[in-house]
Amino acid sequence: MARKKNGKKSSEALALVAARFKILSEPLRLQILQELEAGEQSVGALTAAVGATQPNVSKHLKMLQDAGIVARKQEGNTAYYSIADESVLAMCDLVCGNLKEKFSERSAMFG
């Protein structure tokens, strides 16, 4: 598959890209996104699904929200989160597919 070239990016643009990757560099945030891929969920449901504490999950959700990756909706005392930027899921799928391919190539060397 040929890669489409978009030209050189400014240092400001590259800083924004690096910030996006930094947000996605935490495994717990990736777990949260994986859970939200199925649809909107409450903080309590996400906490149970990822096996972390509520304050920790809330902290990571806030970071994801500030980055525009997830959206928050308040209903009474319950906050619900959903994916706001679907491109993040596509990027994760691309990386996961690439890693799967690399690891299958390596395992063939040992087979």
pLDDT tens, the chain, 111 aa long:
455 677 788 999 999 989 999 999 999 999 999 999 999 999 999 999 999 999 999 999 999 999 999 999 999 999 999 999 999 988 888 888 888 888 887 666 655
Q: If you ran DSSP here, which 8-state letter would residue 84 be given? A: S
Here the contacts of 57-64 (C-beta below 8 Å, separation 24 or greater) are 57/28, 57/32, 60/26, 60/28, 60/29, 60/32, 61/32, 63/23, 63/29, 64/23, 64/29, 64/32, 64/33
Residue 79: how many CB atoms within 10 A of its CB?
Answer: 17
- Give the class (CATH, top level) of 17-110: mainly alpha
Q: Give the global pTM.
A: 0.81
